[in-house]
Amino acid sequence: MTDKKLFVSLRTRFVLALIMAVVLCLVCAGVTRLIGWWGIDTFYMSEENSRARCSQILDDFEDFVQQRELDSGRVRDITIWAKQRGHLYIQVSTEEQILVDSGWLDEEENLEDISDGKSRWLAEDEVPALHLAPALPKDETELSDYYSESYYMGIGNRPVAFSDGICLVTIYDWSDTPLYEAVTATSLVVMLVTLFGIMVLYHNSVIRRIIGLSGEVERIAEGGLNETITVRKGDEIGQLAEHVDQMRFSIIKEMRAEQEAWNANRDLITRMSHDIRTPLTVLLGFLELLEEGDFSQDEAYRDYMGICKKNAFQMKALADKLFQYFLVFANDGSVLNLELANVTVLLRQLAGEHILLLQEKGWNFQYDLPEDCGYMMADTVHMKRLFDNLLSNVEKYADKDHPVVIQIQKQDRTLRMEVSNVIRRNEQQVESTNMGVKTCQRIVELMNGSYDWRVENGRYIVQIALPLCSPESGKN
């Protein structure tokens, strides 16, 4: 699992990707358009190429006029010729007037309405530029001496000999228009392709992450719990990966806890079987002696019976411990009967009887209980089991020559209790399973406390911490 990443939702990432795609689209389209226009202006619309195209158009028009012997008033024929050329506008003028003004700009004009052989007068705002002819030669014989041609950026003019006289022919070449339109269309295509490509790349990256996460989850589902889940980004997919990884850790933790519990129970059963087998073997042996009558006098009979009774009680004590252990550990804490209790009163009731009984048997106690220990939420049944285990261990293992010390303190909102005693030497210990310790520890944990024990310099020390509460906490 990786470190915590800055969270940016998939929706925000999509919007950012879309904005970036739009910006790149506009940039790519603009660059494409600039490069295309630069190429047209630099090569196709260069002065040399433009002059050559205009000269060729004028040559073609002059050949058309001469082949058909057109007069300057043949508007229809001139217009059809200009429109067939495409992207061409033509004007025929004299010194006094414009005779023909037609071509590409008049594509919607109905040619049937143009009378053959008649000139058409145009308003000034209908004409791109008026080219009234300057002084022209009077006839074709003077044209060779007069011949002149002017040119400027796709506009060219030349005197042309018609059958009825010499007129100035002016052409407007807009053949670059399809090229500019093609560049514009190409820039739009580039823009759409860029937008589509960027969004496809973005969605592919999201899909790859989903597929990768699916593969990792599938490997975990097949039993590879040690497989790590990769958290690449801080978004919904990253959160999903992180939650799956947390679930994997939880499963591993639960499996380890179950394995530890199984091992603990197995060890407990093994040790309990050994501990029970010892007194049971002794018991069976002496019962066989009693059954066979292998004793010489009543005193031996009573000794045998005493030994049998002692081992029977020892087995009963072990069985009680085992029952208590499983009863406590079967409780998950949900069925605790927690009630508000005065700690001072509760401790006097639970510990007082045991202490008095042990004092009569010869044990000495140093017991300090403050007058006001506060309140706590406690299950009195479980608390009784806790003190039964603590003080029964004192009876089994404590040395009577040294006092048993019980210290109880109230610190902030915590009750701290310590029970310590000197361990009795050279005494066969009955219990070696530590069931009492585990039972006490479990009871304290169920009530949200802590339990700790240790052996230090021949003393057995138990430390317990339980949470306190205010008197109002237990009121409904």
- Tell me what the mean pLDDT of segment 154-181 comes to: 87
Burial-class residue 229 by CB neighbours within 10 Å (0-12, 13-18, 19+): buried
Residue 110 confidence (pLDDT): 41
More confident residue, 411 or 439: 411
Work out the average pLDDT over 422-438: 65
* Residues 6+ positions from 470 with CB-CB distance below 8 Å: 375
User: Could you count the other beta carbons within 10 Å of the beta carbon of residue 65?
Assistant: 23
Give yes or no for residue 66 having a pLDDT over 60. Answer: yes
Is residue 286 scored above 90 in pLDDT? no
Cβ within 8 Å of residue 113, ≥6 positions away = none
Among 359, 433, 427, CA closest to 389 = 433
Residue type, 283: L
The highest-level CATH class for domain 236-328 is: mainly alpha
Question: Residue 328's closest CA among 461, 451, 473, 463?
Answer: 451
Answering whether pTM is above 0.85, one says: no
Contact status, residue 449 vs residue 440, Cβ threshold 8 Å:
no
- The predicted pLDDT at position 434 comes to 66
What average pLDDT does the chain have? 78
Tell me what pLDDT residue 65 has: 92
How sure is the predictor about 136, in pLDDT bands with cuts at 50, 70 and 90?
Answer: low
CA dihedral 268, 273, 274, 276 (to 10 degrees): 120
- Least confident among 81-85, 86-90, 152-156: 152-156
Q: For 461, what's the count of Cα atoms within 13 Å in the CB-facing half-sphere?
A: 9
Predicted pLDDT of residue 124 = 43
Please name the residue that has the structure tokens 């791109």. 128
Q: Is the pLDDT of residue 182 over 80?
A: yes
Token pair, residue 40, equals 């047209």
At residue 29 the predicted structure's pLDDT band, cuts being 50, 70 and 90, is: very high
Q: How confident is the model at residue 111 (pLDDT cuts 50, 70, 90)?
A: very low
pLDDT band, residue 150 (cuts 50/70/90)? low
DSSP string of 356-373?
HHHHHTT--EEEE--S--
- 337 or 219, higher pLDDT: 219
Least confident of 135-144, 170-179, 257-266, 443-452: 135-144
Rounded distance between C-alpha atoms, residue 329 and residue 154, angstroms = 101
pLDDT at 276: 67
Element (H, E) at 342: strand 339-342
Q: Where are the alpha helices (DSSP H) in 229-376?
A: 236-292, 298-329, 343-360
For domain 333-474, the CATH superfamily is Histidine kinase-like ATPase, C-terminal domain (3.30.565.10)
| Domain residue limits, the chain | 10-44+179-221, 47-175, 236-328, 333-474
Q: Which of 79-83, 216-220, 283-287, 372-376 has the lowest mean pLDDT?
A: 283-287
Residue 382 or 115, more confident: 382
DSSP 8-state symbol, 461: E
Mean pLDDT of 310-335: 62
3-class DSSP assignment, residue 73: coil
pLDDT of residue 339: 83
Lowest mean pLDDT among 109-118, 153-162, 309-318: 109-118
Quote the DSSP letter at residue 230.
Answer: P
pLDDT at residue 115, as a whole number: 38
